[in-house]
A and B are shown apart, each in its own frame.
Chain A
């Protein structure tokens, strides 16, 4: 077994308690360890991505319990890509948090951050449905702490809504898993795929209920339309680096939908036929539309970015809901783009907010107005899907993949019109924040900087203290990621196409995970479930321990 596979989970799980227990009062050391751990995670993710790039599926059996019984971690192209994306995003966001001193505004930022990473990476790597629940809880409980980091009335109130909403999601998740277990008698995803496919048609009622409940859970995570209410308030009031990291959280939901509903409840599985695509597509399109309208109507920059994130998640889920390999490939490309773009937007929103407050209105010219406006411009172009950057390519791929779909008219119409509305929304916000400010200047009493700001030289406005460079470096890094995604769109789309092919032909995945199922361990018959369940309880108990540790750190 390749022990590197579990490293993305073990490393943050060790670093986080170390930070809490020994570095509690040393913010500099905390930063060093946190950033070093994140850099190491990027390196591990790179190695894993290289290993997975040729399409081999690797498994890691925890405690050496064989697959249908014990918990397995599975590394295939999709998980490797999501893990790499998460670690790269985490590194940029971590640098921003250090540079902008957000991590000093409360306690235990870095420890919670590492736990959050552990949960997200675990959710991408696990091959067991109940273990997925446990990692969801790990990432959620860390995110509760991060969400209210720094305190403040508004943040606490938004935090209560966020926590309650996700608690309900977790409860629903357990109901769904219980239902699915009651029908199939397994929770290993590969084994579920085999069992569900072999299910007789008259037994389909319960499994359909389970599949729909599971879809609802993931839809909450991905903030699909009727279940998106938690997102705008939470993201707008969360600390900026946290909101930027949360950009990957909606992708966790989208990833889970893509994984479960291609592997287990695939489009050609008879018992759940016509269940997912028929409901997911209209909901996703509505999400796109409402997100775009929200972008246009936002009065506060944090909410603007939140609705931008909702629009992009809607676009992503639209592509997933088509359930064809081409559309899934487009969705994967778009998910990388939208994660980076949304994170960059949240960081830029924070820069604006720190300098002049969050309202989308004309203020006196802020420090580094020119630089920030350029960043905003680039990120907004990318998010809205205007030509030069990867947002355009991503949307183009999705529209192209939707061409043969019976609902193509709707997909094209909604995505194109809402892109236009999004462009208008961002243009309005950018104009008000960055350009109208200059109009205000002449009537403003701040005469001193006024003299120096004549002409196009906005950067010359005097700054009280030299601002930290690191936040800009982090934001530039995210935008550079977008540019790289555009430049290397060829290799990237080949990779996502291969990933999508794997997803829709999950034979290799299932065979690899269940390769050892006939390994002779005992002379008893197939009822040897008792063996595996011990491992199951052991493994999930371990996850629960981690969750409680997170809770203590909070």
Chain B
């Protein structure tokens, strides 16, 4: 279980970082999506991995429970990253349609320094 989650986070992060270093917007957006999946799984794991336990305290019996806070955090993070991905797709589409190019760097006339972010 731990190995599975850890390697999933690692693989998603590695693939995401590789993709965001590409120079076209489409792979970069895919990369940010992969990274946000990675961080969601990571956040989920921060409350320790406990299977088959409810996220509710039981005063009357000593049963195991799982930390519900990371689940709330992940939910928030999912909503936000979903919205952000929609925004970045729209902005990238706007840039692509008006510039006729989906390069992420700006063209040479303005690339004095520090623009190949």
Contacts and interface: CB of A to CB of B under 8 A. Distances in A.
A156 B114 contact: no
A157 B91 CA distance: 8
B57 A151 contact: no
Contacts of B4: none
A175 B42 contact: yes
B32 A168 contact: yes
A543 B76 CA distance: 8
Given A171-B35, A537-B68, A547-B79, A303 B112 contact: yes
Given A167-B84, A178-B42, A160 B91 contact: yes
A93 to B, nearest CB: 22
B52 interface: no
B117 A230 contact: yes
A233 B98 contact: no
Interface string A162-177: 0111011011001101
B113 to A, nearest CB: 7
Given A170-B84, A303-B112, A533 B99 contact: no
Interface string B50-78: 00000111010000010111111101110
Given A152-B98, A178-B46, A551-B87, A524 B59 contact: yes
B43 interface: yes
Contacts of B67: 529, 533
Interface string B17-48: 00010000100110010011011001101111
Contacts of A298: 112
B9 to A, nearest CB: 9
Contacts, number: 172
Nearest to A227: B117
B8 interface: no
Contact of A182 (B38, B46, B72, B83): B46
A44 to B, nearest CB: 27
Contacts of B116: 229
Contacts of B86: 551
A544 B84 contact: no
The A interface is mostly helix, strand or loop, or mixed, namely helix
Interface in A230-276: 230, 232-233
A530 B68 contact: yes
A154 interface: yes
Given A178-B46, A530-B68, A551-B83, A134 B114 contact: no
Contact of A174 (B43, B55, B105): B43
Given A152-B98, A530-B57, A537-B68, A160 B25 contact: yes
A543 B65 CA distance: 27
Contact of B80 (A134, A156, A179, A303): A134
B6 interface: no
Contact of A156 (B35, B43, B98): B98
A164 to B, nearest CB: 6
B117 A233 contact: yes
A326 interface: no
B98 to A, nearest CB: 4
B75 A164 contact: no
Nearest to B73: A130
A159 B39 contact: no
Contacts of B47: 181-182
Interface residues of A, number: 59
A399 interface: no
Contacts of B29: 164
Contact of B92 (A151, A160, A303, A543): A160
A77 interface: no
Contact of A181 (B39, B70, B87, B95): B70
Nearest to A531: B57
Nearest to A176: B39
Given A134-B76, A174-B77, A548-B79, A148 B94 contact: yes
A158 B115 CA distance: 9
A228 B86 CA distance: 25
A93 B25 CA distance: 32
A531 B11 CA distance: 35
A543 B80 CA distance: 9
B106 interface: yes
Given A229-B117, A233-B115, A533-B67, A544 B79 contact: yes
Contact of A179 (B35, B46, B69, B110): B46
Contact of B115 (A144, A229, A534): A229
B83 A141 contact: yes
A418 B81 CA distance: 40
Contacts of B106: 154, 157-158, 161, 233
A484 B68 CA distance: 51
A299 interface: yes
Contacts of B71: 537
Contacts of B32: 164, 167-168, 171
Given A161-B104, A233-B115, A141 B91 contact: no
Interface string A140-151: 010011001001
Given A157-B99, A229-B117, 18 more contacts: A137-B84, A144-B88, A144-B91, A148-B91, A151-B94, A154-B110, A156-B91, A158-B106, A163-B84, A164-B88, A174-B77, A175-B39, A181-B47, A303-B112, A524-B59, A533-B72, A536-B69, A541-B76
Interface of B: 20, 25, 28-29, 32, 35-36, 38-39, 42-43, 45-48, 55-57, 59, 65, 67-73, 75-77, 79-81, 83-84, 86-88, 90-92, 94-95, 98-99, 104-106, 110, 112-117
